[in-house]
Structure 1
Amino acid sequence: MDQGRLRILLWIVAVGFFMQTLDSTIVNTALPSMARSLGESPLEMHSVVIAYSLTMAMLIPASGWLADRFGARSLFMAAIVLFVAGSLACAMSGSLMQLVCARVVQGAGGAMLLPVGRLVVLRNVPRTQFLEAMSFVAIPGLIGPLIGPTLGGWLVQVASWHWIFLINVPVGVVGCIATYLFMPDNRASAVGRFDLVGYCMLSVAMVALSFSLEGLTQLGMPRATVLVLLIFAFALIVAYGFHAQRKPSPLFPLHLFHIHTFSVGLLGNLFARIGSGAMPFLIPLLLQVVLARSPMEAGLMMLPVAAAGMSAKRVVTPLIRRFGYRRVLVSNTLLLGALMASFALISADEPLIVRIIHLGAYGALNSIQFTSMNTVTLRDLDSERAGSGNSLFSMVQMLSMSLGVTIAGALLTAFTSYFGTSSPAATLAAFRSTFVCIGAITCASAWIFWQLSPDIRGGSDRPEAGDAQ
């Protein structure tokens, strides 16, 4: 492939990555406006976020096999079409249920954009240019969360919430045409059988777990039903373990968990990211519902989080090389949890500069947490286990984000029922209690990272693994 076509290919993958990460955050500042338009409570809109991230978690494991079976170009085009169709359906939704269903379609497209795009780069870029190419593709993925909340707030204020989805349509049309013209249709010469049984076990388990937590609050399920769903979810996870032991080529081989850093990092990511998934949902909601800020102001308040997060990435490698993964992750997890809980102190008369510093400190610690967790999880995977390990890791990341919003919504609903909604002070008390609980969950996950050996440092890490949050 000549350099001109290769450059266009990288732009196609980068824009796909940008669309996927942008829509993970752009919705957060628009939730109150959506709620008013659809006649719903702003405190019960978390299913809009969960539907997107949970769908992505379910479909990411299948994306590699689908690309090998049907071709990367065909699958990437199908992903864009699904993403655009879901975006149009979101904009046309007239009820919360319609919007949630449309977000499922959008998430199905988004789930394939990043892994398939990364696979195309891996197969078409020379080894000597691979690191540079992946860095180029990763930059839009970092910019998406940076501008997402602000762009969402601005679009809601100058137009309507529908435009946060409609802006995907022209980008998607151009992306489809460019993909057809410039992306090679790579596919594997021999494709093994897909582990459909194992995939169904894990997918149904994730859905059952999410529905059980959601059923405690928004869905109004009886407690017996919630308990049955929880037991069913854990039973399927155990059943997958026995299935993976017997099957020659399971979806995720159990020998991955023989790698100490991978198993500890994976569990740490699952629980520590619950707080990090909840905060982008809670903060814009608090600013608009309780502190009466406009969507644009709420979006601008998220800029210090993203800006400080990008700046903090520079200090991660020196910290890990000096103190080791265990000390950095344990101390940073405890600090991050305490800082999340400290958002309970936020008030309407808080000086702006104090709020900016508060948000910036959270963004910096969160960035150190993400980068450290990512690199320790992937550092010891060899080339034979890199594919399945990376897919499992990506699935856990999206599942944890979904669980974070689910748990935050459940806590907020429970505390709102306890304190009532008769006054802003009562609603603020519900938010404060939720922040304390989210902070406590994050602090508790520090115990997982304590299981790491104190001698593990940054000598053999792959720096690019820490770029994607």
Structure 2
Amino acid sequence: MQNRTIVLLVVACALFMENLDATVLSTALPAIALDFGEDPIQLKVALTSYLISLAVFIPASGWFADTFGARIVFRMAIVVFTLGSIACGLSSSITEIVIARVVQGMGGAMMVPVGRLVIMRTIPKSELIGYMAWLTVPALTGPLLGPPLGGFITTYLTWRWIFWVNVPIGLIGLVFATLYIPDVRGETRTRFDTLGFVLSGVGLALVVSGGTNLGLQVLPAAAIWSMLGIGSALLIAYYFHARRASAPILDLGLFTIPTYRIAVLGGGLFRVGVGATPFLIPLLLQVIYGLSPFQSGLTTFAAAIGAIAMKFVAPPVLRRLGFRTILIVNGIICAIFIGLPATFTLSTPVLIFTLVLLIGGFFRSLQFTSANSLAIADIEPNRMSRATSMTSVVQQLSLSVGISVAAISLELSRVSRGGGALAITDFTAAFVVVGLATAASVILFLMLPKDAGREVSGHRRDLAPDAVTAARER
């Protein structure tokens, strides 16, 4: 049990580091641009290059773990991520920091899915929810801590420490990974799907790049739509390739498993709304309410507190109610809290924002834990690595879509009233849209059977009386 706890902490720290670095750079862009003598808008590519690198290399993570073993891949991922962080801190131009961010993304792409794979293969399904609840906390707190931490470091130290702080964490993680991460690997070895890697990697890179820039007015519209069009075509080509390949790098056959399909696709739609929130809330607080980046970051951190509180509640609640009830009812509650800022006015106190984020963070964390646990409830052990890779890809795409939906909603609202500076009515429209997108995920969860994922949740209330008696006698 103690070793399991240490393994969980190592994986959770890796997950926190990866999620933190996806957002920590945003508040430091003006300071970096000043150092480089560049326009801050041009430095947006440093943000997107990290996401693109994740999208390209995540599909390969499962194959590497199965072939070389999770321990060595996880350790190498930490080394690559740490070296990329050092290179980011030493960068002196846009080109250098973009290359360094790509290296960081390569490490993060291997680190997180492989870490999840270790948890799934070493923890019994009956105990999985408690461990998954802990893994949800860093996944939610990383993006929320990123902006305030980046603002604090940039204000009181130097932006380079945003990256160098990863070095001691990486070294400690490397030591603990060497001592405690088990060397799990696939039962059989397969050839690397080179063609599938190219088609899926380039396709996902173009779709993520186009999606993150859609509505942001950073790239020309023609370039963005070209990325989305070519990327979609490559992903369609991958679909036909995967149907013929004996061991495709992304296993589309996983979607024939009902619980996996509904959990991943429903969870992906849910993440569209969640992915929009870290983009909309800080912008609303800074542009409309006049808060500083550091102040707005501290406000959004309330959601992280709610996420941490959830971890104590998830296992007993899921045992009591089961996956289906939680995902449906809790999904509606989450949609309400995500869309609730649409009702705010200029006179709404910041304290109300904080309370909404605090309570909403609790319910969102419960939804993440439930969907992530259900996704692997019926996955065979020899397909776990492919399941973690596919799940991570869908999650990255969903978060990218969430940012795009939020940005487009703001822009369309602004254009509809004749242009000008952003107004609170623009945010009203955006929060309504992302709230509805979150609520739409419930439609998929309604398709779940009442006993979905029972082996993982421990839910028994839906059993017939004779089955309950038999279970007690055992």
Q: Aligned pair in 2 of structure 1 residues 345, 165: CA closer, same or farther (>3 Å)?
A: farther
Deviations 1:422-458 (A, max 9, x none): 55xx3444433332322232233332223323x2356
Report whether the alignment pairs 1:443 with 2:442.
Answer: no
Give the equivalent residue in structure 2 for 1:293: 291
Among 352, 371, 374, the residue aligned to 2:372: 374
Give the equivalent residue in structure 2 for 1:459: 454
Give runs of aligned pairs for residues 191-270 of structure 1, distance below 5 A. 191-213=189-211, 214=213, 217-223=216-222, 226-270=224-268
Specify the SS of the correspondent of 1:66.
Answer: helix
CA distance in 1, matches of 2:119, 2:314: 27
Q: Aligned pair in 2 of structure 1 residues 210, 312: CA closer, same or farther (>3 Å)?
A: same
TM-score (norm 2): 0.78
Amino acid at match of 2:431: F
Shift of 1:276: 0.8
- What percentage of aligned pairs have identical amino acids? 36
Asked if the contact 1:58–1:395 (Cα under 8 Å) also holds between the matched residues in 2, the reply is: no
Asked if the contact 1:262–1:378 (Cα under 8 Å) also holds between the matched residues in 2, the reply is: yes
Where in structure 1 are there 5+ consecutive unaligned residues? Answer: 464-469
Q: Aligned pair in 2 of structure 1 residues 68, 316: CA closer, same or farther (>3 Å)?
A: closer
Shift of 1:325: 3.9
Q: Aligned pair in 2 of structure 1 residues 96, 451: CA closer, same or farther (>3 Å)?
A: farther
Q: Aligned pair in 2 of structure 1 residues 385, 75: CA closer, same or farther (>3 Å)?
A: closer
Give the equivalent residue in structure 2 for 1:58: 56
Asked if the contact 1:28–1:280 (Cα under 8 Å) also holds between the matched residues in 2, the reply is: no
Give the equivalent residue in structure 2 for 1:394: 392
Asked if the contact 1:57–1:396 (Cα under 8 Å) also holds between the matched residues in 2, the reply is: no
Identify which range, 228-237 or 277-286, moves more after superposition: 228-237
Asked if the contact 1:420–1:427 (Cα under 8 Å) also holds between the matched residues in 2, the reply is: no
Give runs of aligned pairs for residues 264-413 of structure 1, distance below 5 A. 264-317=262-315, 320=318, 325-347=323-345, 349-413=347-411
Give the equivalent residue in structure 1 for 2:472: none
Q: Aligned pair in 2 of structure 1 residues 91, 418: CA closer, same or farther (>3 Å)?
A: farther
Give the equivalent residue in structure 1 for 2:138: 141
Amino acid at match of 2:236: V
CA distance in 2, matches of 1:209, 1:187: 31
Amino acid at match of 2:451: I
Q: Aligned pair in 2 of structure 1 residues 323, 187: CA closer, same or farther (>3 Å)?
A: closer
Q: Aligned pair in 2 of structure 1 residues 173, 417: CA closer, same or farther (>3 Å)?
A: farther
CA distance in 1, matches of 2:128, 2:227: 44
Amino acid at match of 1:438: V
Identify which range, 90-99 or 379-388, moves more after superposition: 90-99
CA distance in 2, matches of 1:388, 1:47: 30
Where in structure 2 are there 5+ consecutive unaligned residues? Answer: 459-474
Give runs of aligned pairs for residues 100-139 of structure 1, distance below 5 A. 100-118=98-116, 138=135
Q: Aligned pair in 2 of structure 1 residues 428, 121: CA closer, same or farther (>3 Å)?
A: closer
Asked if the contact 1:317–1:458 (Cα under 8 Å) also holds between the matched residues in 2, the reply is: no
CA distance in 1, matches of 2:339, 2:457: 32
CA distance in 1, matches of 2:187, 2:319: 42
Amino acid at match of 2:437: I
Asked if the contact 1:25–1:145 (Cα under 8 Å) also holds between the matched residues in 2, the reply is: yes
Identify which range, 428-437 or 254-263, moves more after superposition: 428-437
Asked if the contact 2:251–2:390 (Cα under 8 Å) also holds between the matched residues in 1, the reply is: no
Q: Aligned pair in 2 of structure 1 residues 228, 19: CA closer, same or farther (>3 Å)?
A: closer
CA distance in 1, matches of 2:427, 2:31: 19
Shift of 1:305: 0.6
Give the equivalent residue in structure 1 for 2:465: none
CA distance in 2, matches of 1:72, 1:105: 20
Shift of 1:387: 2.7
Shift of 1:155: 1.9
Q: Aligned pair in 2 of structure 1 residues 209, 31: CA closer, same or farther (>3 Å)?
A: same
Shift of 1:301: 1.0
Deviations 1:328-371 (A, max 9, x none): 43343333333323223445542243222111122122123212
Q: Aligned pair in 2 of structure 1 residues 34, 456: CA closer, same or farther (>3 Å)?
A: farther
Specify the SS of the correspondent of 1:445.
Answer: helix
Amino acid at match of 1:168: N
CA distance in 2, matches of 1:342, 1:122: 35
Amino acid at match of 1:156: T
Identify which range, 161-170 or 176-185, moves more after superposition: 176-185
Asked if the contact 2:215–2:404 (Cα under 8 Å) also holds between the matched residues in 1, the reply is: no
Asked if the contact 1:30–1:295 (Cα under 8 Å) also holds between the matched residues in 2, the reply is: no
Specify the SS of the correspondent of 1:280.
Answer: helix
CA distance in 2, matches of 1:57, 1:390: 13
TM-score (norm 1): 0.79
Shift of 1:77: 4.2
CA distance in 1, matches of 2:123, 2:387: 23
Amino acid at match of 1:221: P
Amino acid at match of 1:442: T
Shift of 1:279: 0.9
Asked if the contact 1:421–1:427 (Cα under 8 Å) also holds between the matched residues in 2, the reply is: no
Root-mean-square deviation over aligned CA pairs: 4.0
Asked if the contact 1:25–1:280 (Cα under 8 Å) also holds between the matched residues in 2, the reply is: no
Specify the SS of the correspondent of 1:250.
Answer: coil
Asked if the contact 2:56–2:204 (Cα under 8 Å) also holds between the matched residues in 1, the reply is: yes
Amino acid at match of 2:255: F
Q: Aligned pair in 2 of structure 1 residues 428, 127: CA closer, same or farther (>3 Å)?
A: closer
CA distance in 1, matches of 2:265, 2:347: 39
Q: Aligned pair in 2 of structure 1 residues 421, 232: CA closer, same or farther (>3 Å)?
A: closer
CA distance in 1, matches of 2:29, 2:294: 13
